[in-house]
Amino acid sequence: MKKLIKKAQALRNALRRKKPEHHADMKLGEGWNRRNFLAEVLIPSLFTRRDGAPQPANFPTLESNQFCVTWIGHASFLIQTRSHNILIDPNWARWLKIIKRIRHPGIELHDLPAIDLVLVTHAHFDHLDKKTLRTIADRQPIVVPECVGNLVSNLGFHSVQELARWQSYETGGLKITLTPAFHWGARVLHDSHRGFGGFVIEFEGRSIFHAGDTAYFDGFSEIADRHAIDLALLPIGAYDNMSQRDVHMNPEQALQAFRELRATAMVPMHYGTFRLSFEPVDEPPARLMKRANELGLQNSVHILREGVPAVF
């Protein structure tokens, strides 16, 4: 019996350590060594003065069919319903190791309302910041992709819910579903088995989709087939990256994803906070609105200012 149990455990661990579906190719892209990230991006960022400023905590009273969305910066959002305060990928770090944050978070940590639920899309340092998570943990649940739970299990949360792709977690009338993405989830080089994805948040007949980190891929239509999306939070930056791998969407691809999601409105994210790639800091939103105007989607795209709540 003990041998059978050990074999079952070994099989389970082997299955858990397989690379997830839609895992990005780790091979460096063509021309990755022709540019100098250190000289062109990293060092200039060190001498860049942090821009922006935290805003006063002034959150509106919501009706039953409304969401309030407050962009903290990068991929971090405070999502509010009339009954919940949800944080997604919270990151108040001033540095990602040697990469400087060049815009202040939109809200001070101490000005946050009481947080009911935390969602983390994957284990990369710009999305899973342990210091921030430890600060906001107050015995509430946290939801992460599979094989990420051990990174957050000792930070002070009441429970850690790991989700596989398309699995859901329900609490207090909320339904949280992990959706596919085209990316990778490794915290460090040797743990590429970790899961990654986006989240659909559903409450009282309405939904918000946070894509997490993703390149453009053919999975957005399936997400739309499974979930009616009202608001899509989509990444638009870090596309001209040092490795030249296809792991993030550019603004035009994000708009194509938005159309395939069949969402009503879009909020861009994942730009302007940390310089992670070669494109100029102000290029992603400019390119986004240029293409949105060409497609007649300018009224559907909402560029948020960090720390300023928007009601949808």
Tell me: the pLDDT tens digits for 91-100? 999 999 999 9
pLDDT exceeds 70 at position 3: no
Cβ proximity of 199 and 209 under 8 Å:
yes
Given 3.40.50.1860, 3.60.15.10, 3.40.50.150, 1.10.510.10, which CATH number is that of 49-56+66-311? Answer: 3.60.15.10
How would residue 31 be classed by pLDDT, with cut points 50, 70 and 90?
low
How would residue 22 be classed by pLDDT, with cut points 50, 70 and 90?
confident
Phi, psi of 82 (to 5 degrees): -70, -10
Average pLDDT, the chain: 91
Q: Which residues is 192 bridged to in the sheet?
A: none
Q: Which residues is 104 bridged to in the sheet?
A: none
Question: Residue 9's pLDDT is what?
Answer: 47
Question: Residue 195's pLDDT is what?
Answer: 95
- What is the rounded distance in angstroms from the CA atom of residue 188 to the CA atom of residue 190? 6
262 burial (CB, 10 Å; 0-12 / 13-18 / 19+) is: middle
Question: Residue 145's pLDDT is what?
Answer: 98
Tell me: the pLDDT tens digits for 108-155? 999 999 999 999 999 999 999 999 999 999 999 999 999 999 999 999
Domain ranges in the chain are 49-56+66-311
Question: Residue 191's pLDDT is what?
Answer: 83
- What is the rounded distance in angstroms from the CA atom of residue 285 to the CA atom of residue 252? 10
Alpha helices by DSSP H, 91-226? 130-136, 220-226
> Among residues of the chain, what percentage have pLDDT more than 90?
80
The predicted model scores a pTM of 0.90
- What is the rounded distance in angstroms from the CA atom of residue 270 to the CA atom of residue 267? 10
153 burial (CB, 10 Å; 0-12 / 13-18 / 19+) is: middle
Phi, psi of 159 (to 5 degrees): -150, 155
Question: Residue 32's pLDDT is what?
Answer: 63
